[in-house]
Structures are given as structure tokens and as C-alpha cells.
């Protein structure tokens, strides 16, 4: 009897302290499913469903892959929701950790970064969405803030002064060091990743060549964001300036906008951005003219989104503004219970937005005006 009791205690202890827990297993997962095309122009949005996680959502932690929405939170879990019925199908997690970057996807595989709460070293995981199992878990060898990128068959981790390249088996291909730590990182653009440093130097990472080079435009102050447009760059700087410059170093225009910490939105030849002082701006990329502006009266620290001919602007205090893209005229304000944690993303049929207490709102476009 004592032996059986002891076995039970050992078994429970193994479950509790093993650290690893995984329960996303989507046997019929379709990674090739194409998102629905953008629907007709709409007049307003209505919240039709609310999905929930159990932790505070990671900024930029929402992503759509195949027919599922994935949501990473600071409790160390990545949740999967079926977009057909908005039901949770499970989550991937390693106990006593936190998710360090938005997950990346390749077919039926998910890649994500985590760190243990008492051991800050970063780990990179390869996860099988069909079997619901971690296939690989490797120590990256660095700690601190990090970003994760995927291009073709390359997985790239950027942390501190290091850029580490992995193949799909998480075998390290190359590790290169940047001269200085980066203050911001752009998303991938045509096989390149761009880093901005605290000193105002712009670096280009060539993913295929696994190399780094310095670009000519130097700004002598920390970068907050970098957006690549053709051969040129739009950068926001610590001083509150927004600058459009060429690879040769020539400045086409600049504006004293106030601090912009979220990557601007590029659509229809215009740049849309929000500032920490709550101003939404529409700027002509060609001329630099400020075509329109709107004051939300709040603080914007997340990227704007575009849906049809509408701009979706999330404000930290829990308000979501729907603006006309042409004149930035106010169409609708939606209030949420708590701070907004993620930008709005869409699949053509719905928009999804994360806010406090791990909640994710499902917003449906309507063709008739819905007011607060």
C-alpha cells in the first residue's frame, strides 16, 4: 500500500515539476488556407465574441496562420483558437516561463522564444501543431529582450548585440555580432532585416548572406522605429522627429511629430501613424505634406491597422477609434474594459484585438452605422 502511495506521489511530482506542458494538437490543421479576401466597404464594427487567455497578452502577440488565431501571453502560453467557431483548441506552454517574442510559423510548425522566470537565458522551440508536441528546444546562449524572424527556411533570433541564424532543425548556422545594441528592429523586408542603434546608426542584415552592413543615413540619436519603403526609409527618432531619407543619406522631408514608438502603416501612397501624445497623422510619402490629423486624447503605442477604407487606431486607455482613411474623420469609438494590449489584425471577415485580462475581442464589420 505504501509502495503504491509512493508511486502516486512520484508520478504527480513528475507531472508538476517536469516543466513541459503542451496541448495544441490540431490533427486537420491546414497551413495553406488563404485568408478570406477583403469584404465590401463597411460603416462600423461590432463586438460579436470574446475569446480569453489566462495571462496578459504580449504586444504583437496575435497572429493568424492557416485557419487559426494564435495568441501569446506573459504566462508562458501560446493559445490557438479555431476561426470557424472562435473556440480555444489548446495552448503550448513550458511551465514557469514567459513568451519573449511573437511566434513564427512554417507549414505545420510553430517557432517561439521563451525564458524561464528564474533563468533569463533565451530558449528557441520548434513545435508541431498537428501532434501537439515540442520537437526541439535549444538554448540560444543569450538573454535580454529579443525578436524572432522567419524567412523561407531560415529562423533568425536578434538579441542584444547578436544575430543568430538557425535552420528548420534549429541547428545554428551562423552567429554574427553587431557593433552596438539595437534600439529597434524592423520586420523582414525582401530578405533583409533593418536595425536601428542607440547612436543613430542604421544596419542591414542580409538573411541569405548571413551578413551585416552599415547604411549611410546616420541620425546621431536613438531610433524608435524603421520602415522600409522601396529604396528609402521612414524613421522615428528619440527627439520626436519623423524623417524620410534615402539610402544615400539624403533627407526628403522631416516633421516634428512627437514620439512615435509603433511602426507606421503604409497604404495607398500615404503614411499613417500615431504618437505617444495621441495624435493620428496621415502624411503623403511623396511630398511630406501632413494631409490630415486626428487627436484621440490618449496615448498610442501600438501600430495602426487598415481595413477597407478605414483606419483602426488603438489607444492605450481602452478606446478603439475607427477613422475614415481619407480625412481621418471619426466614424466610431469602441470602449473596452481595460488597456488595449495588441494591434487589430484581420482575416478579411473579422478583426481581432487583445486587451486587459487576456481577452481578445472579435469584431465584425457592418454595413450600417453602429454607434456607442
- Domain residues of the chain, as ranges? 21-33+57-182, 188-259
CATH of 188-259, one of 2.40.10.480, 1.10.579.10, 3.40.50.200, 3.40.50.10300: 2.40.10.480
Residue-wise over 142-157: b if at least 16 C-beta within 10 A, else e?
Answer: beeebbbbbbeebbbb
Question: Is the per-residue pLDDT at 360 higher than 60?
Answer: yes
Is 188-259 the same fold as 21-33+57-182? no
Of 369 and 273, the one with more pLDDT: 273
Q: What is the mean pLDDT of residues 86-105?
A: 87
- Provide the pLDDT confidence category of residue 187 given band limits of 50, 70 and 90: low
**d(C-alpha 291, C-alpha 44), whole Å:** 23
| Coil, strand or helix at 276 | coil
pLDDT higher than threshold 70 for residue 33: no
Query: What backbone phi and psi angles, to 5 degrees, belong to 13?
Result: -60, -40
The alpha carbon dihedral of 294, 300, 304, 310 has a sign of: negative
* C-alpha triplet 355, 359, 360: angle, nearest 5°: 85
Per-position DSSP letters for 184-251, written without gaps between them: EEPPPBTTEEEEEETTSEEEEEETTTTEEEEEEEE-SS-EEEEEEETTEEEEEETTSEEEEEETTS-E
Is CATH 3.40.50.10860 the classification given to domain 21-33+57-182?
no
- pLDDT band with cut points at 50, 70 and 90 for residue 99: confident
Average pLDDT over residues 223-252: 91
Q: Provide the pLDDT for residue 280.
A: 97
Distance of CA 20 to the CA centre of its chain: 25
The pLDDT of residue 359 is: 95
Mean pLDDT of the chain: 87
pLDDT over 80 at 259, yes or no: yes
Q: Residue 40 pLDDT > 80, yes or no?
A: no
Residue from 40, 39, 42 nearest 331 by CA: 42
Segment 31-46 shows an average pLDDT of: 69
Q: What is the pTM of this model?
A: 0.87
pLDDT of residue 59: 85
Over 60: is that where the pLDDT of 345 sits?
A: yes
CA-wise closest residue to 109 among 91, 89, 97, 125: 125
pLDDT of residue 2: 41
The pLDDT value given to residue 370:
44
Residues 303-322: what's their mean pLDDT? 93
Give dist(CA 143, CA 159) in Å, integer.
7
| Chain length of the chain | 372
314-321: list long-range contacts, CB under 8 Å, 24+ apart.
Answer: 314/340, 314/342, 314/343, 314/344, 314/353, 315/278, 315/340, 316/340, 318/355, 318/356, 320/45, 320/344, 320/353, 321/280, 321/294, 321/296
In this prediction, residues 50-63 reach a mean pLDDT of 89
How does residue 332 score in pLDDT terms, banded at 50, 70 and 90? very high
Residue 15's pLDDT band, with cuts at 50, 70 and 90, is very low
Per-residue confidence band for 8, with pLDDT thresholds at 50, 70 and 90:
very low
Instruction: Look at 140-149, 160-169, 185-194 and tell me which has the smallest mean pLDDT.
Output: 185-194
* pLDDT band with cut points at 50, 70 and 90 for residue 1: very low
Check pLDDT > 50 for residue 234.
yes
Per DSSP, the residues of 122-139 read EEEEEEETTTTEEEEEEE
Higher pLDDT pick, 183 / 355 = 355
Is the pLDDT at 98 greater than 60? The verdict is: yes
Answer with the residue of higher pLDDT: 277 or 102: 277
Looking at the predicted structure, is the pLDDT value of residue 174 above 90?
A: yes
Question: Among 103, 66, 100, which residue's Cα sits nearest to residue 81?
Answer: 66
Cell numbers placing 276: 505617444
> Which of 20-29, 40-49, 203-212, 337-346 has the weakest average pLDDT?
20-29
Reply yes or no on whether the pLDDT at 142 is more than 60.
Answer: yes
- Is 38's pLDDT higher than 70? no
Query: What are the pLDDT digits (tens) for 189-209?
Result: 778 999 988 988 889 999 999
Average pLDDT over residues 299-328: 94
Find where cell 487589430 sits.
344
pLDDT in tens, 75-84: 889 999 999 9
Amino acid at each position: 500500500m505504501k509502495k503504491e502511495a509512493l508511486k502516486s506521489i512520484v508520478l504527480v511530482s513528475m507531472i508538476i515539476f517536469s516543466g513541459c506542458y503542451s496541448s495544441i494538437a490540431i490533427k486537420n490543421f491546414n497551413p495553406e488556407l488563404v485568408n478570406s479576401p477583403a469584404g465590401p466597404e463597411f460603416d462600423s464594427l461590432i463586438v460579436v465574441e470574446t475569446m480569453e487567455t489566462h495571462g496578459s497578452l504580449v504586444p504583437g502577440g496575435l497572429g493568424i496562420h492557416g485557419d487559426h488565431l494564435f495568441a501569446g501571453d506573459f504566462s508562458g502560453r501560446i493559445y490557438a483558437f479555431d476561426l470557424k467557431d472562435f473556440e480555444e483548441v489548446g495552448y503550448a506552454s513550458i511551465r514557469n516561463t514567459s513568451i519573449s517574442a511573437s511566434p513564427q510559423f512554417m507549414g505545420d510548425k510553430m517557432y517561439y522564444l521563451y525564458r524561464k522566470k528564474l533563468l533569463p537565458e533565451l530558449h528557441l522551440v520548434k513545435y508541431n501543431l498537428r501532434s501537439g508536441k515540442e520537437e526541439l528546444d535549444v538554448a540560444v546562449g543569450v538573454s535580454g529582450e529579443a525578436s524572432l524572424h522567419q524567412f523561407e527556411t531560415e529562423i533568425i533570433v536578434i538579441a542584444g548585440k547578436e544575430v543568430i541564424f538557425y535552420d528548420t532543425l534549429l541547428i545554428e548556422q551562423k552567429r554574427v555580432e553587431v557593433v552596438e545594441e539595437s534600439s529597434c528592429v524592423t520586420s523582414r523586408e525582401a530578405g533583409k532585416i533593418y536595425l536601428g542603434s542607440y547612436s543613430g546608426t542604421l544596419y542591414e542584415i542580409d538573411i541569405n548572406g548571413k551578413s551585416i552592413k552599415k547604411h549611410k543615413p546616420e541620425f546621431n540619436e536613438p531610433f524608435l522605429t524603421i520602415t522600409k519603403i522601396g529604396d528609402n526609409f521612414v524613421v522615428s527618432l528619440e527627439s520626436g522627429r519623423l524623417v524620410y531619407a534615402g539610402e544615400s543619406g539624403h533627407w526628403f522631408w522631416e516633421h516634428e511629430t512627437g514620439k512615435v514608438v509603433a511602426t507606421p502603416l503604409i497604404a495607398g501612397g500615404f503614411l499613417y501613424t500615431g504618437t505617444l501624445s495621441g495624435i493620428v497623422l496621415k502624411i503623403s510619402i511623396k511630398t511630406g505634406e501632413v494631409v490630415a490629423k486626428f487627436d484621440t486624447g490618449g496615448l498610442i503605442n501600438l501600430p495602426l491597422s487598415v481595413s477597407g477604407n478605414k483606419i483602426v487606431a488603438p489607444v492605450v486607455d481602452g478606446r478603439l477609434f475607427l477613422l475614415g482613411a481619407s480625412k481621418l474623420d471619426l466614424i466610431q469609438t469602441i470602449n473596452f474594459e481595460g488597456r488595449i494590449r495588441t494591434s487589430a489584425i484581420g482575416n478579411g471577415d473579422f478583426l481581432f484585438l487583445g486587451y486587459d485580462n487576456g481577452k481578445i475581442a472579435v469584431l465584425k464589420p457592418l454595413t450600417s452605422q453602429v454607434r456607442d
